[in-house]
Amino acid sequence: MICASSSLSQSIPRLARTAILTASLASLPFFAGAVSSLAQEAMQPEETLSISQKKAVKAASFMVSSANPIASQIGYEVLNKGGSAIDAAVAVQIALNLVEPQSSGIGGGAFMLYWDATAKKLTSFDGREKAPMAATPDYWLGEDGKPVKWFDAVVGGRSVGVPGTLKLLETVHQRYGKQPWADLLEPTRALATGGFQVSPRLAGLIAKSAGKRKLDLFETTRKYFFDRFEKPLKAGHLLRNPAFADTLALLQKDGAKAFYEGPIARDIVAAVKTDINPGILTLEDLKAYQVIERSSPCAAYRGHEICGMGPPSSGGLTVGQILGMLSHFDLRALGPGAEAEHLFLEAAKLAYADRGLYMADQDFVKMPEGLLDPFYLKSRAGLIDSEKSMGKATAGSPPWAQSALRAPDTQLERPGTSHFSIIDGQGNIVSMTTTIETGFGSRVMTGGFLLNNELTDFSRAPEKDGKPIANRVEGGKRPRSSMAPTIVLKDGEPVLAIGSPGGSRIINYVARAIINIIDFDMDPQQALNQPHIVNRNGATDIEKDSKATDLIPALEAKGHKIKVRDLNSGLHAIAIIDGLYVGGADPRREGVVLGY
């Protein structure tokens, strides 16, 4: 095999000696080099037909699970050389920017949960994008005073928020990193220069995002993702990104300062001034950006503490609410099936109702302190009828709430995100969900990377019935998210790191996987292989072409309105079981688990 990096090439025999088994290390030929037929079979596009059941991977020393085999391999190399989980996270995220550009990158934002094994401490880092300081609540109102349509808002510079991912990476690396920053960026810089082969998933998404989805609208983006005949790039195409290599060289030399104050900052500000939907992002907005370290909200569940990301993400609170309500039902006795699914869907409705009314950037909106209050969740669980659906749920009144002052927000994020989980040789853990919002973000590209469309995660309507919406646009505010990077503790020690992309369905995906592991004794891969049934306080979505469709009659008999659709998660999980790391990668995407 010919690889773009000699160190990566040399690692293959060592990997073969370890018990690292996912779809196959045959996927690694998506480096510049020959692509085997086995790799082609394992690495299918994002559609449901690409699902291939995988087996759990076990390791004793360290592990990384990410959405792309190249990124996982680069992270493995860092860990194998004694790097920390944070070192590996830096290298994995930078690699994902290159090989999975539609989902995340330095032009976007991220949330990270971090377990410090020495201090026995869990904390979270908020690298969410921010609205420009000049933004006002009427930001998404058209000339007629009505909110613009969602996709009309996406394309162009106006949807771009101040990126936070790179500042997050540098912040945590300065605190917990062991290997030099420049070294962690080098494998991807070399790969951007030498080229990598476009994976089937990336090729399929490029093809789907042309035309009406406007990936080919702006010249810079069109020239990168389309060939000289303006046709979408095909799987196996050797794609070089010299602009991104130059960007990484600047970051190697000057760190994040080049991005937030230097030449990259100037290029970003120029890029958002598009002819279509020009943005208002300024150099001052970039320079002022700060990562915020926050405490993690935790909810009790079956003797575990389910700890996640707090606002501006709704993920931790809403996952916690779902599980907190379900703790009052014996799911294990019911077993997987329609009865347990019904209870899950009803709990999800109630949690999403609270999410829509209360949750937003806690630095701008006073949050109720009682959203995870055990007595409140018990009262909410009492609203669940095991025999019939409640229909649409309404928000409750948790302790210290001010619901009368707000109107509910129905804005739902679109899926365009990635997640990775990492454990290093010292037991430090990273669970990080990272995004540029919808697939390919704003379609605006500069410096070889895409810029986010995160400002469309705000409510486009600032108020309803004269009441302000918590998630409305405000200058310097961070839009509400559903990202739910999670670390589960038992007796004060971590037992699981998990998270997923999937827009506003992330909460369902993560909560369901945790139930599969804790209640139904599945290993992480078995849990991730299960078909999806989700509810966001509306119709119940069931994953098409899956065994879950067998439950439709029973759920409809309880009053659920069913929609069958493609539900593409990207769950990546590592559990700690009997002293071993046991990892899983979502069969709906092309990721792998590697460890030693």
Beta bridge partners of 126: 111, 292
Other C-beta atoms closer than 10 Å to the C-beta of 31 total 23
Amino acid at 46: E
Pairing assessment for the beta strands 449-450 and 463-464 based on DSSP bridges: unpaired
Query: What are the backbone dihedrals phi and psi of residue 532, each rounded to the nearest 5 degrees, phi first?
Result: -95, 140
User: Shortest CA distance to 569 belongs to which of 433, 409, 422?
Assistant: 433
Half-sphere exposure at residue 452, Cβ-oriented, CA atoms within 13 angstroms = 32
- Before 408, cis peptide (omega within 30)? no
Catalytic hit among 188, 274, 417, 456 = 417
Q: What letter would DSSP give residue 281?
A: -
Angle at 496 between CA 335 and CA 301, to 5 degrees: 50
**162 and 286 Cβ atoms separated by less than 8 Å:** yes
User: Shortest CA distance to 420 belongs to which of 87, 22, 177, 64?
Assistant: 64
Residues 6+ apart with CB under 8 A from 496: 486, 487, 488, 514, 517, 524, 573, 574, 575, 576
Amino acid at 311: P
**328 and 361 Cβ atoms separated by less than 8 Å:** no
Active site residue 417: yes
Half-sphere exposure at residue 173, Cβ-oriented, CA atoms within 13 angstroms = 22
Residues 6+ apart with CB under 8 A from 396: 350, 353, 354, 376, 379, 380
Half-sphere exposure at residue 379, Cβ-oriented, CA atoms within 13 angstroms = 11
Q: What are the structure tokens assigned to 336, written together?
A: 């997987």
* SS3 (DSSP) at 592: strand
Other C-beta atoms closer than 10 Å to the C-beta of 596 total 18
Residues assigned a catalytic role: 417
